[in-house]
Structure 1
Amino acid sequence: MNTNEQAQTSSHLPAWLAPWLDWRRKRCWLIIAFALYSLAGFFLVPRLVEKQLKAPFAASGRTATVDQVKVNPWLFKLEILGTEIRDTDDVVIFSYDRLFVDFELKSLLRWAWTFREISAQNLYLHEERFQAADTRLGRLLSAFAEAEVSASEAPDEGEAIALPRLIIERLALDRGMFSVRDQTAGNFEATWGPINLSIADLQTLPNRNGQQQMSIETATGGRIDWQGELQLVPFSSRGTVQLTGRSLSDFYRYADHFLPFQISGEGVQIDLNYELALLQGELVASVRDLNASTQGTRLTLDNDEEPLLQLDRVSLAGGTLDWPEQSAGAQSLTIDGMELDVALMPDGDLNLYALLPTTMEPEPVSSGDRDPALDWQVNLGRLELTPALIHLRDEQMTPPLAVDLQDLTLVLRELNNQPGTRMPLALAMTLSSGGRISLDGELGALPAPTLAGAFSLEALSLPVLQPYLETQLQALLTAGQLSMQAQIEHAPDQLLKAGGALQLADLDLRDALEEAPLLGWQLLTLDRFEADLSAASLETSELRFSAPYARLHIDEQRRTNVEDLLVMPADDVPVDEEMALPLERLSIGGIELDGAVLDFSDRSLPLPFAAVIQNLTGQISTLATDSQEAATLDLNGQVNEYGEATITGALRPMALKQQSRIAMIFRNLDMGRLTPYTIQFAGYAIDDGKLDLDLRYEVENSALQGANDIVIRELTLGDKV
C-alpha cells in the first residue's frame, strides 16, 4: 500500500483514532503489544497452564482433568477451577474446586517472588498403603522420577538446595479434606476435614515471621487447632496446639489392627505451647504448659465383650519437654475412676499378658550397654489414682476366687527415672470381702525396684481364702479377721523383710465331713515377729491364744480326724508324710493358752474314751529349729465339775512326726458322765465310778504309738445289758 492509499484509508477513520493506528508511530506498536499480550494472557496462557498441569501425570499413566483455567495478565492473577487427578486404577487421589494465585509486581522491588494470596478451596488428598513400603504417593513419585529427562539435571548430592526468595502475604486452605486407607491394617479408612489453614506473611527471607492458623475437624467429632508464628529461614515456629472432642478416635481404630485389644474413648482435651527451631542443622524443641485430659477410655481384649480397663478421666497438668536436653516432666498426672479386671487364668497366666503383642521379642542388651531411657530426665511431681476398683479373680480355683479392691487410692510423689531416687508412696484400699490395706513408705525404681514403709492390715476377713484351703483340707473357714502392723522392706538382695505385730480374731474352722467345729479361738495375739524371705527365717515373740478351741479324735486304727481331712493330690499320689517346713530357721518364743477347750476322744483304747477338757491353761516353751532342746508342753484343765486333766510332752519343730511325745493324765473323772460312749463292765451298765487315766502318745516315723494305764475306783454297776 502506497502513501496515497494509506492516507485514503486513514481518511475513513475518526480523526482521534487515526494517529493511534499509524504504524509509523510508537503508540501503534504499543497498542499492538497490548493486544497481543492480552490475547496471549487471556487465551494462550490458560491453555499452556492446563497442558503443563496434565503433562507429568499423563507421562506417569495418571489422568488429570481441569475444568477451566483463568488468567488475568494485567492483574497477574491465576485461577484454576475443577482440577482432579486420578490414579491408574481410576481412584481420585487429588482434587480441588478452586486454586487462586495473586502475583504482585512489587516482586521486582523486593527482589523476591511476592504473592498477595495463594488459596485453595475444597482441596482433597487421598493416600493409600498397599504393603509396608508401597503407597499411592510412593508410586506416583517413582513414576515422576522415571519420567525425568536425565539424571544429570539433578543436583549433586553434596550441593545444598537454596530456597527461592519468596513472600506469600496470605496462604489459605478452605474446607480441605484428607482421606487415608491402609490395606495392611484391615482396610482401615479415615477422613479428616474440613481442614482450614491460614498463614499470613509467609516468607523465605531471613528472620521474617509469618502468622499461621489452622483447624482440622475429624469425621468422629474431633477438632485440632493450631496457631502461632512461622519462620522459614532460619526455620523456627512457636504457637499453641489444641485437640478437642474425639480427635484420637481414628488413632484408636488404627491401633486396634496391630494390638490384641481395642481402645475407645469419649473425648480428649489437649492444649500446649511449643517452640521449634533449627540451629546449625540441629532441631531444638520445647513444649510448655501441656495440659491434657481424656474421658471415658475403655480397653477391651479381642474376643471379649466386657472391658478389661476403664478410665473415667485421665488428666495431665503442667507438662514440659525439651530437646536436645532430653528432658520431660509434668506437675501431676491424675487418674479418676479406674476399673481394672485382673484374673489368674486356668493355665497359670495372668489375663494382663494378653495385652502384649505375641510377636514382640525383646532385643538382647549387652550388660555393658546403658539403657537409652536413662539418657532422658523424666520428672513427675505427683501421680494420683483415685478412686479405683480392681476386680481380682483366680480361675485356677473351683469355684473361682473373686474379691474386689475397692476405693483404692494411690499417691506417688517426686517421680523421676534417675537411679537411687526414693519416691514417697501412699496406698490404701478396702476389700469387698472385708478389711482394709494401707501402705505408707518410699518406692525406688532404678537401678532395681526397692520398697520400704509401714504396712497395715485392718480386720482382713479370712473366709475369702476358702478356695485355697479346700485344696489342702476338707474344712470350712467360716470366720476370722487378721490385723497386722509391720515395717516392710524389699531390695535387690532382700526379697522381703517384715517386722511388726499381728492379731487374728474370731477364727472358726469347721470339719467339712462331720459339719462340726474343728479349730478356733477368740483372739491370737503376736506382739512381735521378724520375717526374712531371703534368709527363709521367722522369729516371733510368744503366741497368746485367748479362748481357743480344738477337736482331736483318734479312731480304732489310731488315725486322727485331721488326717481324714487332708486332701490327696489330683494325681492320686499320697501327700508326702515328711514334715518339710519352708523355713530354714524358725523360732517361736513360746505359746500361751488361756481358757482353751479341747474336745478329745480315743477309740483305740480298750475302754473307748471321750472327754471335753475345759479351761485348759498353760504354756509351750520356745520352739526353735536351731536348738537341740525340745519344746516342753505343760497344760492343765478341767473335765466336768471335779475331773482334772494335765497335758505334758516334748515337741521338736523340725521333727513333729518323728520325735514327738505327749502325755495326757486324767484324774477323778466321773464315769457316768463320760460321753458319748456307753461304758460296760462284766455285762452291766456303769451307773457311777471314778476313772484315772494315763495316756502316752509317741510319734515315730509318722505313726502314732500309744500306751495307757486305766484305774477305776468306786464303781457302781447298773442294770444288766
Structure 2
Amino acid sequence: MVANRTRRLSVRNISVVILVLVVIYALVGFVGLPWWLERVLPERLEKHMGWQAEVGDIHVNPFVMSVEVLDLDAEDSDGEPVVAFDRFYTNLGVWRLVTGVVGLQNIELEEPYIRLDLLEDYSVNFARDWQANNPPAEDAPADDSDSAEPMRLQFDRFRVAGGELLFRDFSQEAQEDFRVTPLDLALNDLATWPREDSESNYYLLAAVGSQTIEWEGDLSIAPIYSRGFIKLGGVTHTTLQHFLKPYLPYQLRDGRVTLSTRYELQSADELFLTTSDGQLDIENLGLGLAGHDDELLTADRIRVGDISFGLNSRNVSTGTLDTDGVNLSLYRDADGAINLLEPFRNEADEEPADDSSDTDMPFRWTVAGVELGNSSVNWRDEQPRTGADLSLTDLSISVDELSDQLEEPVNYKADATLGGGGRVVINGQATPAPFTLEAGIAGSDIVLAQFGAYINEAANLDVRDGSLSVDGNLDLDQQQDPLTGTFSGAGEIASLDLRLGDSDERLIGWQTLRLEPIEYNVAPARLEIGTVTLAGPTVNVVRGGDGLH
C-alpha cells in the first residue's frame, strides 16, 4: 500500500513538473521571445546594417516552431526606405534537426518592398551598408570555412506574393529607376546538398510596367544545376538602351523585344550551358544616331525562331530570320562621310581586341535563311554639286542557309522598285570567303533622270528623259588579287533626252539605242559590243562666236 501510494505520488509529481515546464516553455515562447525579438531585431539591423527599423508585431508559436513578423519598415542611413514587408512567416521542421538538417517547411513573404541600388563602382547598397558597419577584426582568425562541410538547409516551400523591387542604377551617367511589381516567386523543395532522388522546382513572375519576366523549372544548389524555361516579354527600348548603351553603336529609339528559350545550366568542374527552342520577336524597332533627329533604321517586325546555343560545344543555330517593313535611311555628307559608319570612325586607329581563347575549338553558327519583305532603302548624297536622292521601295530579299562554312555557295534573290521609276531583279549565288558572285541581273524601265546628279558630276549634262533596260549575267571572283569578273548581256536606252546643263535645247536624243551582246571584262578592263542599233537619233550642234561647239 505504501509503495503504491509512493509510486502514485511520484507519477503525479513528474506530471506536475512536466506541466510546469510546458507552461514555462509556452510563456517564454508565446510571450517572452516575441517581446525580446521586437527589441533585438531593430537593434541588430542598426548595428550590422546602419538601418533604422520598426516592427509592428511578432508572433511565435513554440509548439510548431514558427515565427511571424508583421509590418517591418527599415530605412538606411540616408533616411530612404530600403526594406519593408507586411508579413513574414516561417516554421522549422523539428524532426529533421535529428538528422542534422535545418528544414524550413514554410517561408511566406507578403507584400515585400526592396530597394536595390547599383552604385558607381558596381557594388550594391546592401554590401556597402554591411561593410561599413562590420569592419573586419585585425586579430580575426583565418577563415577555414572552405574545408568545413556547409550546413544542410532545406526549404520545403518558399513564397513571395505581391512584392515590389525598386532597382536604381547609378553606374552610368544618368540615373535610371526600374520598378518591378508585382514580384511573385514560388520555390519548392530546395536543398543545399546534392540529392539524387529529388529535384526542386520554382516559378517566378515579375513585371516592370508592361514588361514581364517568367521563369520556371528545376533547381539544385549543390552542385548548381537548373533546367527550365525563361521568357522576357515586351521589353521596351528604354530598358534595352539603358543596359546595352555601352555596347550599342546606335541609339534605340523605339521597339519592344520578346525573348523566350528553354535552357540547361550546370556549374561543377566547369560552366555548362545550353539553350533550345528559342524565339526572338522585335516589333516597331527604331534606331538612330546620337545628335541626329532622323531615324537611321526602322522595322515593323523582326522574328527568328528555333534558336539554340551551346557554350561548351561553341555553336549557335537559328531558324529563318524573318523581317518585314524595314526602312534604311542612308546619308553621305559633302565630306564623303556616311551616317551608317559614323559610330565606327573613332575606332579606326584603335588596336583590335584579342579574340584568342583558351580553346582551339572553332565557333560554329548556322542561320536557316533570311527573308526580307515590304522594305525600302533611301539614299541622300550631298557630295555631288546638286545632291542626289535615290530610293528602293517594295524591296524583298531571300537568302538560303548561311553558316560559318564561308566557302559554301549561298543562293539569294532580290527584287526592288526604284523610287524614281524602274524595277530591278537580281538572283544567283555567292560565297563570302573567298568572295565570288554569280548574279543574273534584270532591270526594266529604269528612269535615268534619277541619276542626273551623278551624270552632271561627270559632265555638264542634264538628263531630261530616258529609260534603261538591262538583262545579263555578272560573275565576280576575288580568289586572287585583283578582282576579276565579266558581264555579258544586252542593254537598251529608250526615249533619251540629253541637254547641256545651261541650255533648254536638246543636245542628243533618240528613240532607242540597243547594244547586244555586251561583253565586259573587269581586269584587265575590256569592253566588246556586238551590234549597236540606233533608232530616231537627234543631234543638235551649235558653234558659238568664239569658235567653241
**TM-score, normalising length: structure 2:** 0.88
Aligned partner of 2:423 in structure 1 is: 436
Aligned partner of 1:334 in structure 2 is: 322
2:463 to 477, 485, 497: 477
Aligned partner of 1:244 in structure 2 is: 233
- 1:283 aligns to 2:271 (yes or no): yes
2:203 to 207, 213, 216: 213
- Which amino acid in 2 is paired with 1:391? N
1:167 to 151, 154, 165: 154
Cα separation, 1, equivalents of 2:320 and 2:165: 35
- 1:454 aligns to 2:440 (yes or no): yes
2:77 to 74, 81, 88: 88
Cα separation, 2, equivalents of 1:489 and 1:337: 31
Deviation of 1:61 after TM superposition, in Å, equals 3.2
Distance of aligned partners of 1:325 and 1:57 in 2 relative to their CA distance in 1, 3 Å threshold: farther
> Contact between 2:449 and 2:463, CA under 8 Å: does it hold in 1?
yes
| Aligned pairs (5 A) from 1:642-661 | none
Deviation of 1:91 after TM superposition, in Å, equals 2.0
> Contact between 1:246 and 1:265, CA under 8 Å: does it hold in 2?
no
Deviations 1:325-345 (A, max 9, x none): 011111211011111111112
Which range moved further: 339-348 or 139-148?
A: 139-148
Aligned partner of 2:488 in structure 1 is: 500
Distance of aligned partners of 1:490 and 1:80 in 2 relative to their CA distance in 1, 3 Å threshold: farther
Cα separation, 1, equivalents of 2:134 and 2:405: 50
Deviation of 1:471 after TM superposition, in Å, equals 3.0
SS of corresponding position for 1:58: helix
Cα separation, 2, equivalents of 1:361 and 1:98: 59
Deviations 1:18-49 (A, max 9, x none): x99x9992223222322332232223333554
Cα separation, 1, equivalents of 2:132 and 2:482: 65
2:125 to 110, 133, 136: 136
Aligned partner of 2:369 in structure 1 is: 382
- Which amino acid in 1 is paired with 2:432? A
Distance of aligned partners of 1:358 and 1:86 in 2 relative to their CA distance in 1, 3 Å threshold: farther
> Contact between 1:60 and 1:147, CA under 8 Å: does it hold in 2?
no
Structure number, greater radius of gyration: 1
- Which amino acid in 2 is paired with 1:381? A
Coordinate RMSD, CA, aligned: 3.1
Deviation of 1:140 after TM superposition, in Å, equals 2.5
Aligned partner of 2:300 in structure 1 is: 312
SS of corresponding position for 2:421: coil
2:144 to 129, 133, 155: 155
- Which amino acid in 2 is paired with 1:242? K
Cα separation, 2, equivalents of 1:228 and 1:369: 35
Deviation of 1:389 after TM superposition, in Å, equals 1.2
Aligned partner of 2:5 in structure 1 is: none
Which range moved further: 165-174 or 393-402?
A: 393-402
| Aligned pairs (5 A) from 1:516-535 | 516-535=505-524
Which range moved further: 28-37 or 132-141?
A: 132-141
Aligned partner of 1:704 in structure 2 is: none
Which range moved further: 312-321 or 114-123?
A: 114-123
Aligned partner of 2:285 in structure 1 is: 297
SS of corresponding position for 2:468: strand
> Contact between 1:209 and 1:231, CA under 8 Å: does it hold in 2?
yes
Aligned partner of 1:349 in structure 2 is: 337
Cα separation, 1, equivalents of 2:168 and 2:349: 28
- Which amino acid in 2 is paired with 1:416? S
> Contact between 1:335 and 1:385, CA under 8 Å: does it hold in 2?
yes
- Which amino acid in 2 is paired with 1:211? N
Deviation of 1:376 after TM superposition, in Å, equals 1.7
Distance of aligned partners of 1:409 and 1:150 in 2 relative to their CA distance in 1, 3 Å threshold: farther
Deviation of 1:95 after TM superposition, in Å, equals 2.4
| Aligned pairs (5 A) from 1:553-568 | 553-560=542-549
Number of aligned pairs? 535
Cα separation, 1, equivalents of 2:23 and 2:190: 35
Looking at both structures, which has the greater relative contact order when contacts are Cα pairs under 8 Å and sequence separation is at least 6? 2
Cα separation, 1, equivalents of 2:90 and 2:348: 51
Cα separation, 1, equivalents of 2:181 and 2:148: 33
> Contact between 1:384 and 1:409, CA under 8 Å: does it hold in 2?
yes
Aligned partner of 2:214 in structure 1 is: 225
> Contact between 2:47 and 2:133, CA under 8 Å: does it hold in 1?
no
Cα separation, 2, equivalents of 1:495 and 1:421: 19
Distance of aligned partners of 1:326 and 1:80 in 2 relative to their CA distance in 1, 3 Å threshold: same
Deviations 1:136-164 (A, max 9, x none): 234224335525685425236xx356443
SS of corresponding position for 1:434: coil
Distance of aligned partners of 1:371 and 1:24 in 2 relative to their CA distance in 1, 3 Å threshold: closer
Cα separation, 2, equivalents of 1:134 and 1:361: 33
| Aligned pairs (5 A) from 1:589-604 | none
SS of corresponding position for 1:185: coil
SS of corresponding position for 1:325: coil
Aligned partner of 1:606 in structure 2 is: none
Gaps of 5+ in 1: 1-18, 561-721
Cα separation, 1, equivalents of 2:429 and 2:77: 64
The alignment-based identity, stated in percent, is 22
SS of corresponding position for 2:547: coil
Distance of aligned partners of 1:374 and 1:473 in 2 relative to their CA distance in 1, 3 Å threshold: farther
- Which amino acid in 2 is paired with 1:498? T
Aligned partner of 2:177 in structure 1 is: 189
Deviation of 1:412 after TM superposition, in Å, equals 1.3
SS of corresponding position for 2:31: helix
SS of corresponding position for 2:540: strand
Cα separation, 1, equivalents of 2:358 and 2:410: 21
- Which amino acid in 2 is paired with 1:428? D
SS of corresponding position for 1:143: helix
1:117 to 106, 119, 125: 106
SS of corresponding position for 2:444: strand
Distance of aligned partners of 1:257 and 1:54 in 2 relative to their CA distance in 1, 3 Å threshold: farther
Cα separation, 1, equivalents of 2:358 and 2:443: 38
Cα separation, 2, equivalents of 1:117 and 1:29: 33
Deviation of 1:394 after TM superposition, in Å, equals 0.9
Deviations 1:579-599 (A, max 9, x none): xxxxxxxxxxxxxxxxxxxxx
> Contact between 2:50 and 2:133, CA under 8 Å: does it hold in 1?
no
Deviation of 1:377 after TM superposition, in Å, equals 1.0
SS of corresponding position for 2:44: helix
- 1:395 aligns to 2:382 (yes or no): yes
Gaps of 5+ in 2: 1-7
Distance of aligned partners of 1:440 and 1:234 in 2 relative to their CA distance in 1, 3 Å threshold: same
Cα separation, 2, equivalents of 1:392 and 1:372: 44
Aligned partner of 1:72 in structure 2 is: 61
Deviation of 1:316 after TM superposition, in Å, equals 0.9
Deviation of 1:125 after TM superposition, in Å, equals 2.1
Cα separation, 2, equivalents of 1:482 and 1:166: 79
Aligned partner of 1:678 in structure 2 is: none
Aligned partner of 2:313 in structure 1 is: 325
> Contact between 1:253 and 1:262, CA under 8 Å: does it hold in 2?
no
Cα separation, 1, equivalents of 2:393 and 2:411: 22
Which range moved further: 313-322 or 497-506?
A: 497-506
SS of corresponding position for 1:525: strand
Distance of aligned partners of 1:322 and 1:514 in 2 relative to their CA distance in 1, 3 Å threshold: closer
1:409 to 396, 416, 433: 396
> Contact between 1:292 and 1:317, CA under 8 Å: does it hold in 2?
yes
Deviations 1:666-691 (A, max 9, x none): xxxxxxxxxxxxxxxxxxxxxxxxxx
